[in-house]
Amino acid sequence: MTAIEVDGVGKSYTGKGKRTDALSGVRLSVPSGGFVSLLGPSGCGKTTLLKCLDGLVPVTEGEIRVGGVPITGPGRDRAFVFQDFRLLPWRTVLGNVAFPLEGVVSSKAEREEIARRHIEMVGLADFERHHPHELSGGMQQRVGIARALAVDPDILLMDEPFGALDAQTRELMQIELLRIWELTGKTVVFVTHSVDEALFLSQRIAVFSARPGRVAAEFEVPFGYPRDEHAVRGDSRFTDLRHDIWRLLKGDTNAFSE
Amino acid sequence: MKAASTLSQTVKAPSQRAWTSPARATGIRPLHVAGVALALAGWQVAGAVRPDFTSSPTLVAAELLRLARDGDLLSLVAGTVGTLLVGWAAAAVLGVLAGFLIGRYRLLAVALEPYLVALYSVPLIALVPLMIIWFGIGEGFLLATIVLATAIMLVFPTATGTRESVRAYGELARAYQVTGRRFLLKVVLPGALPYIAAGLRISVQRALMAVVVGQFLVGHPGLGTLLGDARARLDADEVFAVALVALAVGALLTALVGWAGRRLSAWRPEVTT
């Protein structure tokens, strides 16, 4: 089953009489329960596409269908995880995770029960009374992920969620994310500029080229789950794929600077 | 954090904070105490030479006692603070509302900002005659003067806080379909609170100034009137005594508002505007 269909999507901005194409003719399909990464250099439009998928940014061309229905804005079936966490600093961990439930679940006890379950899922059970500024970056993003999961969406849209974290925390979070993904069966669209991250996490990688952003190539990643980090990284297919993707990205950068 | 091999790892909460010394808790250092003692001693010496001119700590202390006993000082202070609080509360409501509106709606900001800047810059004393014509010389005049002097000081911080809040959390709220009244009350207002607290802190001093000067000008009973009487009699002891009381009231109010503001926005460092 297809969860998301991106059908000839284009996005252009007009400012001061000048037209800038951020995306053009993007075609992509994400299977239900799949893990797809959007990979590319900064400024290639991958984050713009992710925001279009959430309905935060309207497309100027083409159509995005979720479960066969064209989207018109943000909805309960999708949840967004931001690169900079975007937690409400005056709320506790519990308050942040319960935040998106407030217009949906009327009983406070029930909201907190749902929030607690997801806080526990991301391993922060001891921290529900803490405020974001008391937490490390990795812990803050765990809250961001718990908040997204709390609304029980079909699709998780993750915008370089580990981009602001140090290398070690980042690896831990990748393993955590795969565990949660396998546990919940959500569809994940994951934006990153790290080839290794995309390869380790996803089933399929859509590599973007820049200005206007479009999908240059798609790669299937031939490893099953759960993935063992060392086995995967040592596998020759991993190195080959890594090489191919790098060549594609590099060629694009060269074409660009010329 | 534990090793990468554990899949379902849990992070442990940190232990309690360490003990803080009284000096650190209050911000008062031995050097401060020594400075005050030295200044009082110097004042006492100066007072021994020209008591009619500089007064002295002992004379001022005696005068304070006399005012408290015969001059009804406490009820005058209570009345002044009461007027101040009523006027300042009204100013806060008006200022926050106006600031929120111009922070939220760009057209309003464009239309109103020139007038607000003008009001902010005009010397208050220039408006006093108009206030007297409109409100007489009673309580109404004092309240109007406080509102005029302080509401404007809340408008700009609130507007900035509102804009900041929308900029920082607007997209998040949209992504999670938090809109309308819930967006305003649960996202924009709490996000703007540190800015509003900063505005309240700077405006309370101005409210005190407005009420004292107002009383001084129209002779409405209060601290300002005491000051006026003392000046008329060239009584340096009383002038110093009343000024000290005003200082104490101002310091106390500022500390209280600062404390309340920090309580309200403990989740982020103080905003200075």
Nearest CB to B12; choose among A126, A151, A172: A126
What pLDDT does B220 receive? 86
Question: Strands A187-192 and A35-39, how do they pair?
Answer: parallel
Choose among B135, B157, B159: nearest CA to B83: B135
User: Which tens digit of pLDDT belongs to each residue from B139-155?
Assistant: 999 999 999 999 999 99
Which of A57-61, A101-105, A230-234, B100-104 has the weakest average pLDDT? A230-234
CB–CB contact A86 B182 (8 Å): no
Q: How confident is the model at residue B24 (pLDDT cuts 50, 70, 90)?
A: low
C-beta neighbour count of A97 within 10 angstroms = 32
Radius of gyration of chain B (CA): 24
Which residues, 6+ apart, have CB-to-CB distance to A188 below 8 Å? A34, A35, A36, A155, A156, A158, A177, A181, A202
Residues of A in contact with B182 (CB under 8 A): 102-103
Say how far apart CA A242 and CA A238 lie, in whole Å: 6
pLDDT score for A231: 85
Contact A126 B268 (CB under 8 A): no
Inter-chain CB pairs, A–B, below 8 Å = 81
Chain A positions touching B4 (Cβ under 8 A) are 171-172, 175, 229
| pLDDT per position as a tens digit, A83-134 | 999 999 999 999 999 999 998 999 999 999 999 999 999 999 999 999 999 9
pLDDT one-digit tens code per residue, A139-165: 999 999 999 999 999 999 999 999 999
Residue pointed to by tokens 């009804």: B72
B-chain residues near A179 (CB < 8 A)? 7-8
Is the CB of residue B10 less than 8 Å away from at least one CB of chain A? Answer: yes
Instruction: Tell me what pLDDT residue B272 has.
Output: 47
Question: B182 and chain A: CB distance < 8 Å anywhere?
Answer: yes
pLDDT of residue B17: 52
pLDDT at B25: 67
C-beta atoms of A56 and B11 within 8 A: no
Cβ atoms of A210 and A41 closer than 8 Å: yes
**A20 by DSSP, 3-state: which?**
strand
CB A80 within 8 A of CB A159: yes
Alpha carbon of A14: minimum distance to chain B alpha carbons (Å): 21
Question: Could you tell me the pTM of the whole model?
Answer: 0.82
- Ranking A220-224, B68-72, B213-217 by mean pLDDT, the lowest is B68-72
Residue B74: is its pLDDT beyond 70? yes
**The predicted structure's pLDDT at residue B268:** 65
